[in-house]
Amino acid sequence: MSAQKAYEELIKRVREVSLLYSCESVLGWDERTYMPRGGAAFRAEQLGLLSGLAHEKFTDPKIGELLAQVEKSDVVKDADSIEAANVREIRYQYDKRTKLPKELVEEITRVTTLAQGEWVIARKNSDFKHFQPWLEKVVKLQKDKAEAYGYDGEPYNALLDDYELGATVDQIVDVFTGLRNDLVELLGKIKGAPRKPDVSIIERDYDVELQRIFGEAVAAAIGFSFEEGRLDITTHPFCTGIGPGDTRITTRYNPKRLNDALFGIMHEAGHGLYEMGLDKKNHFGTPAGETFSLGLHESQSRMWENQVGRSRAFWAYFFPQAQRIFKESLAGVKLDDFYGAINDVKPSYIRVEADEATYNLHILLRFELERPLLTGDLKPADVPGEWNDRFKKYFGIDVDRDANGCLQDVHWSAGYIGYFPTYTLGNLYSAQFFAKAVADMPDLTQQFESGQFLNLREWLRENIHQHGQRYRADQLVQRVTGKPLSAKPLIDYMTAKYSEIYGF
């Protein structure tokens, strides 16, 4: 077989694996939206079969042989070519996935399935002792996983790589620590500020059907295509890029609070725009047409949710529409008061309910515990104490119960250690990209004010989406913004916004 033929065969096989995963995506979407309750056990079987088949096909030694042949050929001689990127990233994943012993994968699945059930009980009773033995098991298995992968530096790097490919603690720890210090300082200023937004504006009656109509109008305005996508309701909102021409988002509506679904829809639509912006038509199922960085993905959702959706310019355009739709609850409300209300900052226990300013503090705290958990410097038994000490230091409040502290998130019970940092990476990328977009399009604020959002969408498509996995996240940030990752754009953006709203 010629090297070109081998490359084509490799792509064909990898694409087929992705096609199987895309079937899983449809079944997963269905499971969370419309599946009758009675179908749950059977659905697990269907999903198990599909992922088993996909894994089997991807770790087939034939993939390794094809890779070896192509790697030493002219097909990849141009390191910047799509072919080279595809081969590089397929190799990376192939080596990773073939390194994990089947028994370890099965044991992780078995333990985390049980651990999630026990976590639900522990959280309900706010009983850390109940969860502790399971956290110990999970941490142990994650250490084993890190060892199986192998790593430079500390074991955390191996886990982080599963979610933020190529990222290392060394790359991010200084940025994170700087961000933490700046956020604690910013929070102090906000707390002591003379002005406070009136949040009651957004906590009135907001008819769910009207929220849907307004949310869909907003999603369409920023470029989410309802010809190639849809919006449904789920308990836990998500976005799934099923394949070319099919990207779906979900949300949940709170009839007493406008923010949840509105910014939730913009968030998921931001993920959706990334999926829609990938070149799936030509490269579906191969690295060139897919994403690999949760941080980059989150940067897209957070930009549309925060830099756009929580901007004054966005509401200069959309607020009159909102007032027409939510006639009673927004009657007589001033734009600036509404803008203040949707940007209210208030330290609270729960990460998923956190505002834009405190959100990253929640993440950084978790990151600071996960690393020593992996090295063994922090014992699972000591997690609540360590959590509560840091929470007091960063947020200025005492954690009243572990359900509001270290037991709040599903991640650890599910074995997702190394996942949290991607949320903050997303916020950092988002601010850094957005600052560059503003530099490239100095009239972006005016564009938003007149309802023009598609130039930003195009900018993102051109600079980020279309590249798929051609560049690792750190390379892409450097390439697009001309600088390495930094906390400065995020802090500058927040300081400017909150000083205006809070008057400090």
First-last CA distance in the chain: 69
Residue with tokens 């792509």: 11
Q: Taking CB under 8 A as the rule, does residue 46 contact a second copy?
A: yes
Q: Which position among 3, 8, 9, 35 is part of the footprint of a second copy (CB under 8 A)?
A: 35
From the centroid of its chain, how far is CA 130? 29
Site string for a second copy, 212-241 (x = CB under 8 A): -------------xxxxxx-x---------
Please answer whether residues 418 and 162 qualify as being in contact, where contact means their C-beta atoms are separated by less than 8 angstroms. Answer: yes
Determine the angle formed by the axes of helices 40-58 and 3-33, rounding to 10 degrees: 170
Site string for a second copy, 175-214 (x = CB under 8 A): ----------------------------------------
> For residue 153, what are the contacts with CB-CB under 8 A and spacing of at least 6?
168, 169, 170
- If the CB atoms of residues 39 and 484 are measured against a second copy, the closer one turns out to be 39
Secondary structure E strands in 244-402: 246-251
- By CB under 8 A, which span of 24-32, 79-87, 201-209, 320-328 interacts with a second copy? 24-32
Site string for a second copy, 278-317 (x = CB under 8 A): ------x---------------------------------
> How do 246-251 and 229-233 pair as beta strands?
parallel
Catalytic residue list contains 328? no
Q: 297: which 2 tokens? A: 């993905």
Q: Which position among 12, 34, 110, 439 is part of the footprint of a second copy (CB under 8 A)?
A: 34
Other CB atoms closer than 10 Å to residue 103's CB: what's the count? 8
Shortest distance (Å) from residue 42 CB to a second copy: 4
Q: Which position among 27, 100, 173, 233 is part of the footprint of a second copy (CB under 8 A)?
A: 27
Other CB atoms closer than 10 Å to residue 33's CB: what's the count? 13
List phi, psi (to 5°) of 59: -95, 10
Give the 3-state secondary structure of residue 274: helix
Shortest distance (Å) from residue 33 CB to a second copy: 8
Residues 113-132 that bind a second copy (CB under 8 A): none
- By CB under 8 A, which span of 28-36, 85-93, 393-401, 461-469 interacts with a second copy? 28-36
- By CB under 8 A, which span of 30-38, 305-313, 396-404, 491-499 interacts with a second copy? 30-38
- By CB under 8 A, which span of 32-40, 99-107, 298-306, 483-491 interacts with a second copy? 32-40
Dist CA 29 CA 23 (whole Å): 10
Please answer whether residues 425 and 298 qualify as being in contact, where contact means their C-beta atoms are separated by less than 8 angstroms. Answer: yes
Shortest distance (Å) from residue 67 CB to a second copy: 22
Our CA angle for 93, 95, 101, nearest 5°, is: 110
Q: Taking CB under 8 A as the rule, does residue 56 contact a second copy?
A: no
- If the CB atoms of residues 285 and 418 are measured against a second copy, the closer one turns out to be 285
Q: Taking CB under 8 A as the rule, does residue 39 contact a second copy?
A: yes
Of the residues 24, 83, 268, 275, only one is catalytic, namely 268
DSSP 253: -
Shortest distance (Å) from residue 46 CB to a second copy: 5
Tell me the residue length of the chain: 504
Instruction: Residue 446: name the closest of 300, 266, 316 by CA.
Output: 316
Residues tagged active-site: 268
Site of interaction with a second copy (CB under 8 A): 16, 19-20, 22-23, 26-27, 30, 34-43, 45-46, 49-50, 53, 225-230, 232, 242-248, 284
